[in-house]
Structure 1
Amino acid sequence: MEHVADLKDRRARGRALRQVVPRRAHDAIGNVRRDPVPLLETSSAGRVERLVPLRYGRMIQSPFAFFRGSAIVQAHDLAGTPTSGMTIQICGDCHLANFGGFATPERALLFDLNDFDETSPGPWEWDLKRLTASMVVAARHLRHDKTAADNMVFELVNSYRDRMALYAEMGVLETWYDRITFDRLLAEAASPDVQKQIRRAMERAAARTHETLLPKLSARAGHRWRILDAPPALFHVTGRQTLFSEDDDWLKAGIAADVIARCFGDYASTLAADRQELLSHFTVQDIAFKVVGVGSVGTRCLIQLLVDSHDKPLFLQFKEATKSVVARYFKSPAVTHEGRRVVEGQRLMQAASDLFLGWTKGPFGRHFYARQLRDMKFSADIELMDTALLTGYGRVCGRALARAHAKAGGLAPEISGYLGASDRMAEAMIGYANSYADQVDRDYEAFVAACRAGRIEARTDADMAADFQV
């Protein structure tokens, strides 16, 4: 355990960094003299070509949807903003919709960050800035007024500040053991309405299991289970309803069963020995392509259905991992496997991670990470939140981000020293979040104009599904 003097020195080092980069300097929005469309096209490179219009179709629904799908744009812009100089493992795509609930291996329900596709070493401020900007973009989308939106950012940032101050006083093991359980949130909730929302979330999570998913996504075909095609969201890569083009390497060269088995074996070898033993009790039934999210649409994402000797299912998701948007704009150590980057970043930042979290190389060398599909996972429905609920949700997100940063970075005293006890950082973030939300509005307008002009193509799920209707 550190001596009190050591902690004081560490806080003082963080406080001294304010002389180099004052907290008020964080209201700058960075490198925004650019066209967002080429950046989006850069991040679309290498995706399944026929799914890129679906990505844009999901992004065009609202400025908030656009924001969710354009992490590369904000990472580009953040590269031109000042930082305190403290580099830690960050989420890289830290917005309101990338927090949620999931079950630990012990079946406790936690609230935490739940998307780490862009995780990488980077400035801790980048996560806080993306989160606060998402709050204002969401608040505007939901027609909350500016005063309410500013207060949401204020509460979020001060929740992060206050929680970081607590972690600065904790031992390392205490920090690593700390978890935000739903039981804890329920006990802390003062409002009956908030308690009702938390209970409802717990009920929804409990219903999201592999067994409830089985009849929705699959059906028996003889002695095996087969995943049902429902394009564009779900289809077999080599099936009649595939969205892969003929010149895609996965179709052109074909993927033999032994190649898939080898990839699966490589994945299993990244799990702990007891989890390898657990996985050995399941038999593979089928594998299909599943479109997920907004920003991930078009990256290769497969779901694999397995069953045990009792015919009980396990759905695994294998998701392609490409270069982090953070690493594109912030100098980071070289990465040899992008899937491993995601897994190790997730393990560092989350309070507890998926039982089957691992990585592998797919056919033709693409990098993947794997986890369970859906198992008691859910995201909050931000669209239904009134001012009070969204404000409270922001406070919990700020708290969860502080826990993730404190655990992953080990710099809680330094970050807390930099933040201090005043509202200076919150005030700077209010300025940043509003200015950046204005920029998101401009970028969204440019994006919509590009779609309307035919510069890029956007198609909805319903429009693409109609292509397969007889």
Structure 2
Amino acid sequence: MTNNIIDRIYHFNLGRNPKLLELKYKAMRSDVFTFYRGTCHLFYEDFPKDSPLNAAPPVWICGDLHLENFGSYKGDNRLVYFDLNDFDEACLAPCTWDVVRFITSVIVGSHALKVNESEALHLSNSFLDAYSNALAKGTPKSVEKETASGLVKDLLRSLKNRLRPEFLDQHTKQKKGKRYLIIDNKRIMEATEAEQQKITKLISNWHKSTQKDANFYQVLDVQQRIAGTGSLGLERYAVLVEGKGSPDGNYLLDLKQTKTSSLQPYLTLPQPDWSSESARVVAIQQRVQGTPPALLGVIVEGNKSYVLRELQPVQDRVSLQAWDGKLERLEKLMQTMGEVTAWDQLRSRARQGSPIADDLIKFAHSSDWRNQILKYAISYSKQVELDYQEFCQKSSILSS
């Protein structure tokens, strides 16, 4: 494998929408933390095959755990939770892989957090303490409004006043009592007529085959959606459907193409024979989260597959800048994220190759892995900085 960062990024992103790919590269040039978020594949390409961290118990991981991959959502029981929220790279892998990627994100993202090196290490240890303590107890829990604290509690409390009509007004315009998506080329970009027809037909065929409510899923508008960092350039659509009635009962859906996990080339553990890549994402998300999100589904078109989910008024992330100079607020956030990570790994135990709780409890009580994670995260964060500098200097090649 070449060490040329530009070559590695170019080959990984081959075949993506050029206009959206340029947006991805522009975002990645903005700061090193966004670069890290957009290059999960580099992290696993570089991760040493002989690392002792590879001997940790295998669990179902999200594969791309970092500071921005936690958030709120409404479950299919209509309650709001705080949990992991991105499973594009999800697979069965050593439990340490998610943890070391997260700790590296804390160190790489220290400037985004506005903390110094010493504080970043302190926050990393707060996460590791909470993760190991929760894992050692062996009992998964969930974070909802009544059980949240600190910045997460502030987030979940703020969501109660978000109403669907106001959410729809932010993303749509009305004409003669019907809503249409607002094309602003920031969050929504115009889809071609062929794309609109294709997605409308896909959803129509899907709800017929799954016996979903045809009236609810009647498509009113389809446009391209601009969201995320790592997945930018893949097919993604915002879909406005009739829902519970026009205009204020309409629902917004996200339809996102799924590709093979970027961890796949480096996995040594047998993986299930998923019917599609989107089936992999949805199945792992359902076994990891305490309560799966509302309207989560899989749509297949030939050799392509898509994850369908609801875009919700209550969907949001914790503001990483909202700690107001009080480090204990960030400490509590790290503790919550550490607990959620452990609980999700425990929740998916004993499923298709993952261990029983006793194995994870035993691992939590061992000590070597913590120092190994910190040592590698500190070392690799320096490599990320070098890669970022090279990318900024040479990324114009990718647009030529």
- Asked if 1:297 corresponds to 2:224, the answer is no
Select 1:43's aligned residue among 12, 32, 49: 12
Q: Which residue of 2 aligns with 1:57?
A: 26
The residue number in structure 1 matching 2:77 is 106
1:350 and 2:286 are equivalent in the alignment: no
- TM-aligned CA distance change 1:141 to 1:314, over 3 Å: closer
Letter in 2 for 1:225: R
Change (3 A) 1:432 1:107: same
Structure 1: state its 5+ residue gaps: 1-30, 187-193, 240-253, 459-470
In terms of Rg, which structure is larger? 1
Q: 1:270 to 1:78 in 2, by over 3 A?
A: farther
Instruction: Answer yes or no: is 1:370 the counterpart of 2:370.
Output: no
- Stretches of structure 2 that go unaligned for 5 or more consecutive residues are none
- Tell me how far apart the structure 1 counterparts of residues 257 and 251 of structure 2 sit (CA, whole Å): 20
Equivalence for 1:361: 300
Distance in 1 (CA, whole Å) between partners of 2:162 and 2:25 is 28
What whole-Å deviation, never above 9, does each CA across 1:154-173 have from its counterpart, x for those lacking one?
12112111101111xx4xxx
Q: 2:386 aligns with which of 420, 430, 442?
A: 442
**1:34: Cα distance to partner?**
2.4
The residue identity in structure 2 corresponding to 1:341 is R
How far is 1:421 from its partner? 5.6
> Residue 143 of structure 2 aligns with which residue?
180
Amino acid corresponding to residue 284 of structure 2 in structure 1? G
2:329 to 389, 407, 411: 389
TM-score w.r.t. the length of structure 1 is 0.76
Cα drift, residue 379 of structure 1: 0.7
Say if 1:135 and 1:394, in contact at 8 Å, map to a contact too: no
- The offset of 1:430, in angstroms, is 2.0
In the TM superposition, residue 399 of structure 1 has moved relative to its aligned partner by 0.5
1:374-393 CA-to-partner distances (Å, cap 9, x unmatched) read 34111111134343222221
2:29 equivalent to 1:66: no
- Deviation for aligned residue 1:351: 1.0
Specify whether residues 227 and 327 from structure 1 end up closer, same or farther in structure 2 by C-alpha distance, changes over 3 A only. Answer: same
User: 1 or 2, which has the higher helix percentage?
Assistant: 1
Indicate conservation of the 8 Å contact 2:56/2:363, yes or no.
no
Query: 2:67 matched to 1:96?
Result: yes
Question: Which residue number corresponds to residue 420 of structure 1?
Answer: 365
3-state SS, counterpart of residue 144 of structure 1: coil
Q: Is the 8 A contact 1:209 1:374 kept in 2?
A: no
Aligned length: 387
Task: String of CA shifts for 1:196-231, please: whole Å, max 9, x gaps.
Answer: x44531243234454222122222234532212111
Query: Which residue, 322, 340, 347 being the options, matches 1:400?
Result: 340
CA shift, 1:147, in A, is: 2.2
> 2:342 is aligned with what amino acid?
A
**Which residues in structure 2 correspond to 1:14-413 (within 5 Å)?**
34-78=3-47, 80=49, 81-82=51-52, 83-84=54-55, 86-167=57-138, 170=139, 175=140, 178-186=141-149, 194=150, 197-222=151-176, 224-238=178-192, 254-255=194-195, 257=197, 259-268=198-207, 276-277=212-213, 280-307=215-242, 308-309=244-245, 311=247, 312-331=249-268, 332-333=270-271, 334-362=273-301, 365-385=303-323, 386=325, 387-410=327-350, 411=355, 412-413=357-358
Q: How far apart in 2 are the matches of 1:261 and 1:284? A: 6
Taking a change above 3 Å as real, the CA distance of residues 150 and 309 of structure 1, as seen in their structure-2 partners, is closer
SS at match of 2:60: strand
Q: Provide closer, same or farther for how the CA distance between residues 37 and 210 of structure 1 changes in structure 2, counting only shifts above 3 A.
A: farther
* Percent identical residues: 20
TM-score for both structures, normalised by structure 2: 0.89
CA contact (8 A) 2:135 2:343 kept: yes
**Secondary structure of 1:288's match?**
strand
Displacement of 1:313? 1.2
Distance 1:233 1:181, change over 3 A: closer
Equivalent pair of 1:360/1:369 in contact (CA under 8 Å): yes
**Structure with the greater relative contact order (CA < 8 A, sep ≥ 6): 1 or 2?**
1
Rounded Cα–Cα distance in structure 2 between residues aligned with 1:397 and 1:300? 30
In 2, the alpha carbon distance for the partners of 1:71 and 1:270 equals 35
> What is the match of residue 3 of structure 1?
none
